[in-house]
Structure 1
Amino acid sequence: MTSDSSRLSTRPEADGSGAVQSPESRRSVRRKFALVLLAGVLALTGAVAGIYYYTMRPVMLQVAVGPANSDDAKVVQGLAQAFARSHQQIRLHPLLTDGVAASASALSNGEADLAIVRGDLDVPKNAQAVATLRKSVAVLWVPPKPKGKNAKAATIKTIAQLAGRRVGVVGQTDANVNLLKVILQQYNIDPAKMDIVRFATTEVAQAIRAQKADAFLAAGPVNSKITADAIAASARDGGAPTFLAIDSADAIAQNHPVYEAAEIPPGAFGGSPARPDEEVKTISFSHHIVARKSLSDTTVAAFTRQLFAIRQQVISDFPLAAKIETPDTDKDAVIPVHPGAAAYVDGEEKTFLDRYSDYIWWALMAMSATGSVGAWFASHLKKEERVGNVTQRDRLLDMIALARRSDSADDLDQMQAEADAILRDTLNRFESGAIEEGSLTSFNIALEQFHNAVADRKWLLMSTPPRPQTASVQLRTTTGS
């Protein structure tokens, strides 16, 4: 007879084929999955936060401008301070140079992101226009004739009469000398046959008083203080300087697209009588804010937007800021416009969602996929637990039959211990949501029947007298002698 105890078995373990896992194993799997899921969510959240920080962090741009005390440098420094005070996304760091030529070189060499360049000079090939900082005009004038002397300069009334004369150029830059040569060549005057002398801005007044030149040329904004002071120094003994009109301004602009025909309005340089006393025709050129071609469209668009939004705030301190204009967006512009600046001017600037919608969409898809995988895995774990619960309930039902046939109290105690373990595991499953209340009710019925069967069997074993042991008789065969 096979003992009932041999039919008792330990609780099934997880083997990957639908068998029940132990509570510790299931908790370990759930714990590992929760950690993996949490790590995935944190990684995605960190990626989104990183993208947002990267796109919204302040961007510092190096701006090449010079010379140090020029109006252009003062305007750029004013803009840099205004950007910093208002905590703008784009910040400026002025990189002071010796002049516009050095600024252009800094941009060309990659030392600067932005630069203030002069339109009538060679513009770097990697430069694209962002804004027009200001326009400058060429001013040619002849100081009045000194009293009591027959100076040749007094006879100059037109540009054609400059041939063979000495012309002083205000400023040490080669750009103004080149400007004078362009004007002279339009009037068929050979610059090589003239005496062209450059004077620093601090030397002009002394040069005029010492009559070191027959005529002078200055280039700058119409309201330039340097030009106005130089012209004021030319007026002596009540005499007024003579302004030379560039009547061929339209032809120069036609031959040299970097220049435009312009007029100097009466009284532009102050004085009494007004200087000049009537409108004077001349040519003008622009100073541009240019950016490296490789600079991000988003960055340039943000800078352009900030520039025109904050311009009004710096006008009181830097009146020249009022002259800042949008760039020429035509395809045949002298300096091609940067796509970022063109997007702002044309109202096609991309918003944050426009620029990063694809990244956001993929991030959401990744989060959705992670959530779906997590939900599937959780459902899979619960399904295994539900299957395990059914298996344990069936095991409990089997133990009811075993208990009713058991002849050993030890076997009953062993089955009771297994039932307690099944009960503990079932309650854990219920708390984790793996089984529903209805399943718990059916399990409770089976458990109650098992306890009743064990109690009845123990009472029966205790009330039944032990069976008498059957004596074994050993027959001996006696052999006769």
Structure 2
Amino acid sequence: MTIALILGLIGAIAAGYYFAMRPVILKVAVGPANSDDVKVVQTLTQAFARGYVRLKPIQTEGAVASADALAKGNADLAIIRGDLDVPKDAQAVAILRKNVVVIWAPSGKGRGRKSGAKITKIVQLAGHRIAVFGRTEANVNLLKVILQQYGVDPGKVDIVQYPTTEVAEAIRSRKADAYLAAGPVNSRITAEAIAVSAKEAGEPTFLSIDLADAIAQNHPAYEAAEIPAGAFSGSPDRPDDEVKTISFNHYIVARKGLSDTKVATLTRQLFAARQQLMAEFPFAVKIETPDTDKDAVIPAHPGAAAYVDGEEKTFLDKYSDYIWWVLMAASATGSLGAWFAGYLKRDERTTNSHLRERLFDMIAQARHSDSAEELDQLQSEADAILRDTLHCFEHGAIDQSGLIAFNIVLEQFHRAVSDRKLLMSTMAQNLQRASAQFRAAGTL
């Protein structure tokens, strides 16, 4: 019975491990269509095709829609901007990339600019037209944050917005006096926009955000950063010196309630695929670990934090205590079951004990018997006792040692019967011989 319980327990543990470790599919919200983020997620989906965690992309209109999908429970993961409204239950898995803000003004004359005027500082943007590249309002709001920090009323700035597909046309048509773009330092889109601006309106002047630290202090989603000299391809002088700016992160976030094991495995798979992603998307990806400090802007998911801090638990680490307690419980249950089974068979053991005592009495009776018929009856009774004893052994009422002891007594009984029958046969022969001799002597 105990063995059966142990085998059943092992089977239950194996089944639990199978169900715990079978592949899971996580829905990831990402957008807009044809963006680098969508392409990155599609590449990850292919890379994770044989992993424990697999991805199912859900295309959205952009980062705002992706965050909304996560908040509504329509997705397990989302690609979002850290400077937008982050869902309350969103927790960081990884930083997909860091984006920097680039603001520049062409050296030539642009629409709305006074003759001979040259924009070299943020405060000089008042009264001018600024072109913001990007589909959503996120970059427009970002510009307003910068303007307000410098005391420039956004209402006194003519802000126009262009999708990234219309960057070159907007610059060629001289529709703005300054431009704002946000993306990785090595962003292809930003570099191409600056190159077109230099060709069409002269080498650009990069506007330094000297109050970057103050902006970061007032708006934790942003960080002070620097654009290194020569960061933009096409000329080693773009810019000709480091330019102070602000940066913000693009995150891969997960629902707070998502299993720690799933997120830890996802994070491990993600960083295993990092080199492949960076090789295929050098302008869109620079995966970094999330901030695991408690005061992080977007707190790290416990599963991701466990991976980053080297505290990720294996299946046995997580469930060893439970397995130990189950084994102890199974052992106790087996012992209790054995005791209970023995308790239920106490009547059979008592009966068998009486039968063995009866067999002892039968040995003494056989040794003093003078009747072959009586010996045959004792033999038949011994056969019945043997049958009952074997029945008790099969049902566990007596153990192997008890059966051996019974066998010793039974052998003694058979020997007593055999000896008695031999003695009775010898006596009968002697009587016949004496009788014959007596008759022979009488005839003489």
Question: How high is the TM-score relative to the length of structure 1?
Answer: 0.77
The one-letter amino acid paired with 2:188 is: K
The one-letter amino acid paired with 1:78 is: T
User: Which is further off, 42-51 or 373-382?
Assistant: 373-382
* Partner of residue 330, structure 1: 293
* Counterpart Cα distance in 2 of 1:154 and 1:338: 50
**Is the Cα contact below 8 Å between 1:134 and 1:320 reproduced in 2?**
no
**Is the Cα contact below 8 Å between 1:228 and 1:270 reproduced in 2?**
yes
Alignment of 1:210-229 (within 5 A): 210-229=173-192
**Is the Cα contact below 8 Å between 2:133 and 2:164 reproduced in 1?**
yes
* Pairing 1:115–2:78 present: yes
* Partner of residue 142, structure 1: 105
- Report SS of the residue matched to 1:198: strand
Alpha-carbon deviations, 1:363-412, whole Å to 9, x = none? 11022123423554676689876655543333234446666668794x66
**Is the Cα contact below 8 Å between 2:359 and 2:409 reproduced in 1?**
no
* Partner of residue 60, structure 1: 25
* Pairing 1:445–2:412 present: yes
**Is the Cα contact below 8 Å between 1:139 and 1:282 reproduced in 2?**
yes
**Is the Cα contact below 8 Å between 2:292 and 2:305 reproduced in 1?**
yes
* Pairing 1:93–2:37 present: no
The one-letter amino acid paired with 2:306 is: A
1:172 corresponds, among 111, 131, 135, to: 135
- Report SS of the residue matched to 1:123: coil
* Partner of residue 213, structure 2: 250
Shift of 1:455: 7.3
**Is the Cα contact below 8 Å between 1:205 and 1:233 reproduced in 2?**
yes
Alpha-carbon deviations, 1:22-49, whole Å to 9, x = none? xxxxxxxxxxxx5xx5664454233312
Alpha-carbon deviations, 1:33-81, whole Å to 9, x = none? x5xx566445423331233223322232222222232222333333333
User: Which is further off, 377-386 or 350-359?
Assistant: 377-386
**Is the Cα contact below 8 Å between 2:94 and 2:253 reproduced in 1?**
yes
The number of equivalent residue pairs is 426
Shift of 1:454: 6.2
* Counterpart Cα distance in 2 of 1:306 and 1:136: 24
* Partner of residue 418, structure 1: 381
The one-letter amino acid paired with 1:82 is: A
* Counterpart Cα distance in 1 of 2:77 and 2:304: 13
CA RMSD of aligned residues (A): 3.6
**Is the Cα contact below 8 Å between 1:75 and 1:320 reproduced in 2?**
no
The one-letter amino acid paired with 2:252 is: I
Distance 1:400 1:131, change over 3 A: closer
* Partner of residue 42, structure 2: 77
* Counterpart Cα distance in 1 of 2:116 and 2:66: 37
- Report SS of the residue matched to 2:101: strand
* Counterpart Cα distance in 2 of 1:153 and 1:308: 52
Distance 1:394 1:159, change over 3 A: closer
* Counterpart Cα distance in 2 of 1:378 and 1:451: 39
Distance 1:97 1:440, change over 3 A: same
* Counterpart Cα distance in 2 of 1:152 and 1:45: 85
**Is the Cα contact below 8 Å between 2:187 and 2:283 reproduced in 1?**
no
Shift of 1:127: 1.4
* Counterpart Cα distance in 1 of 2:252 and 2:158: 34
* Counterpart Cα distance in 2 of 1:153 and 1:94: 51
Shift of 1:341: 2.8
User: Which is further off, 306-315 or 125-134?
Assistant: 306-315
The one-letter amino acid paired with 1:236 is: K
Alignment of 1:4-43 (within 5 A): 34=1, 40-43=5-8
Q: Which runs of 5+ in 1 are unaligned?
A: 1-33, 465-481
* Partner of residue 304, structure 2: 341
* Partner of residue 288, structure 1: 251
The one-letter amino acid paired with 1:448 is: R
The one-letter amino acid paired with 1:281 is: K
Alignment of 1:266-277 (within 5 A): 266-272=229-235, 274-277=237-240
* Counterpart Cα distance in 2 of 1:316 and 1:340: 27
Question: How high is the TM-score relative to the length of structure 2?
Answer: 0.82
Q: Which runs of 5+ in 2 are unaligned?
A: 432-444
- Report SS of the residue matched to 2:238: coil
Shift of 1:98: 1.1
* Partner of residue 105, structure 1: 68
* Counterpart Cα distance in 2 of 1:145 and 1:190: 25
2:357 corresponds, among 394, 397, 400, to: 394
